Structure 1
Amino acid sequence: MIDRADFYAAKLTYETDPSDVHAALRAGADIVVIDVRSDEAWAQGRVAGAVHMHYNEIASRAPTEIAEGTAVVVYCWSPGCNAGAKGALEFARLGYTVREMIGGFEYWVREGYAVEDADGVHHRPVDPLTGIARVRTHA
């Protein structure tokens, strides 16, 4: 039987969340965020700065587009979507250090992080059920 501490340590090796990804990007971490959803989903909006690579294109595209040794974070729609796990599996098979962003695009948006679409980069309001709403003060 696996020890509980070992289980959670392993889980954190393979998963991350929107807040940790956002913090890593702000700190300048050398990671590539990959959106593994469909073209239609990508067009609706994505993590600002993400690369679009549908999970069934990873085996053919990643070796020529993502440098060997690059840390990768993949995401799909939400906790109800397993495309992120499919994408992570493909990157792992290719030898990349990969983590799945739990919560997916849904929680990225709900936590108020930058979203990009054809109109540019936007910030949607923080959902108080998932993040701390920013308090605005007037001078």
Structure 2
Amino acid sequence: MPTSVAATPAAPSILAREHFAAQFAFETDCWDVHDALTNGPDFVLLDVRSPTMFAAGHIPGAINLPHGKITRTKMEAYPAGTLFITYCAGPHCNGAARGALRLANLDRPVKIMAGGITGWIDEGFDLEKSDVV
């Protein structure tokens, strides 16, 4: 009798390739964001958590814009083709996806940073603190 892992067969390779390749169009990871920030980013990194959480610790170079405050007017400050990367607290939080959806609804290119702050810390990267806004 197969385990619960093997009870459902893996997808055919062609479907698996399509699925996993598509993921890169929707998300990036902490390591790649860190590398890009070190070498000159070609995106805007949005911390979509509350200003209090942002002040307590955020990724250096990130801009705080809670997902509920992402509006067409605020996004007009950026050229139309600007790529946005959203992140939140971590895999237990859906704020990055909420922010990404708001940006997609405004026809803005967007990806989420998988892992959020939790993933960032797990990779050994530093956070910075700021005054509460």
TM, length-normalised to structure 2:
0.81
Shift of 1:50: 0.3
The runs of 5 or more residues in structure 2 that have no matched partner are 1-10
Q: What are the Cα deviations for residues 11-52 of structure 1, in whole angstroms up to 9, with x where unaligned? A: 111011100111122222311100000121111110001000
Residue matched to 1:42:
54
* Greater relative contact order, per chain length (Cα 8 Å cut-off, separation 6+): 2
Q: Which has the larger radius of gyration?
A: 2
Aligned length: 119
Contact residue 72 and residue 97 of structure 1 kept, 8 A? yes
Higher strand share: 1
Contact residue 76 and residue 104 of structure 1 kept, 8 A? yes
- Identity of aligned pairs, percent? 38
Instruction: Write the distance in 2 (CA, Å) between the matches of 1:26 and 1:39.
Output: 24
Distance 1:61 1:78, change over 3 A: farther
Residue matched to 1:87:
99
Shift of 1:66: 2.7
TM, length-normalised to structure 1:
0.78
Q: Which amino acid in structure 1 is aligned with residue 103 of structure 2?
A: F
Contact residue 37 and residue 61 of structure 2 kept, 8 A? no
